[in-house]
Chains A and B, each alone.
Chain A
């Protein structure tokens, strides 16, 4: 990971070009720190997969990258600007260059699929109605949903909702795309279709992509680089091959699907209940 880094920790060096560079990122929910000093880079045009178990902090990291959570410390560099320290107007301007596909799709239930895709175009571009209609058809065609413009989100299957959400995320021709659990809750065939779509979009548009998932098959198929998050820390980072070959115990446990060991000792159990370190043995 280090050899591709655009910016070294605390070096003060200015990053260049598109892509994402995260430095010493900390995120708190109230008093509790969820992410502890996270740093990584996503070179332009590459796909980073953020792996991690439930509650590891990977979704919080993604939400922070798109500005839905405010970091308590650290920097997020995108397009040569620190996203974490921008004014609201600057953040909105940058967000027009980002696309986000949510786990649930987050399509607006009161709008048709076409209206969902057209929404950012209506709000942020001076395009006329007929041009927007053509753009909507084009975006829906790119995700394999031609002819579904007039369907309501409730009439779509889970996989189709995800595709429609991707079409909406692509509406403004973003430079960076973020996916939260793109294949969660889908059967293996539909999930493979979504993976295929992500690869197709990356190849066609050279977009920087960040995917949060815990689906290993999907992760190894689409990733150029991966990071594994555990309890708010990056425990491993590298290419899919490097992660596969890693002997790091937490990586092996995650990749080999080994359950957490049961608490056997009296002190371990006491520690779990109290959340405090065990007393020193005399």
Chain B
């Protein structure tokens, strides 16, 4: 009986949490897409500032890690393919795994570490310092002022970062291909292009947008849920990272399943 009760309670809590994320996302979507047509200004400068932080400043670390992941993937692929005498398939394997899965996922995990946690810390600190209250007393809605620019920046930057991560991952695979698998740079990229179809790239980019929405919603939600005291900011930052990673994996599973079952045979 107690087990059933605990499962029920955890399910209700989980659904309530997802509901709070949906409410935050809906509020931000209204601020970005509807309010400007009702005469309420949306300041693009804030979104641009966030986009610089979320996207442009993340390029070096995303490049480096994606390159290494591409190389690791090629090494692991070659380990099996060598036994089958199919080393020429390394380029195809790397390209498909990177564009469909690891490019968006690794980018999301890096963005969680850099930006999702920063969103939670920023909003949490503002809450502790009464800055959120100050916004409300100035008739500035925190979702419109703080959250919406982050959503817009993330929706725009995640596909860009993911595209770049895909390219760097392929480059990393190519590094191994050229050094140890008998490819030239030209033949490696030709093999990559032959293996990829547009659907591989598009599904990865759709997932990246969904990941961006999840990361922003969780980061902001945890920031607003920060209690009193500076140690609470640390708690909400940690919580945002753990919950974002979990929810990104869940969303990844859902969308991968959707793309699998809707793929033309």
Contact = CB atoms under 8 A, between A and B. Distances in A.
A and B associate in one complex: yes
Interface of A: 63, 66-68, 91-93, 95-96, 98-100, 102-104, 106-109, 119-120, 123-124, 168, 172, 178
Could you say which of A68, A95, A100, A123 has the most chain B C-beta atoms within 10 Å of its C-beta? Answer: A123
B129 A106 contact: yes
Interface of B: 41, 125-126, 129-131, 133-134, 136-141, 145
A125 to B, nearest CB: 11
Nearest to A172: B138
Contact of A68 (B126, B133, B139, B140): B133
Contact of A106 (B131, B139, B145): B131
Contacts of A66: 137
B5 to A, nearest CB: 22
A123 B129 contact: no
A168 B126 CA distance: 17
A172 B140 CA distance: 13
Contacts of B145: 123
Contacts, number: 55
29 contacts: A66-B137, A67-B137, A68-B133, A68-B136, A91-B139, A92-B139, A95-B138, A95-B139, A96-B138, A96-B139, A98-B137, A99-B137, A100-B133, A100-B134, A100-B137, A102-B130, A103-B130, A104-B129, A104-B130, A108-B131, A109-B125, A109-B129, A109-B131, A120-B140, A123-B41, A123-B139, A168-B134, A172-B138, A178-B137
Contacts of B137: 66-68, 95, 98-100, 178
A106 B130 contact: yes
Contacts of B134: 100, 102, 106-108, 168
Contacts of A172: 138
A119 B136 contact: no
A103 to B, nearest CB: 7
B129 A124 contact: no
A98 B41 CA distance: 21
Contacts of A106: 129-131, 133-134
B220 to A, nearest CB: 16
A168 B145 CA distance: 17
A119 B138 contact: yes
Given A93-B139, A102-B133, A119-B140, 5 more contacts: A67-B137, A98-B137, A100-B133, A106-B129, A123-B145
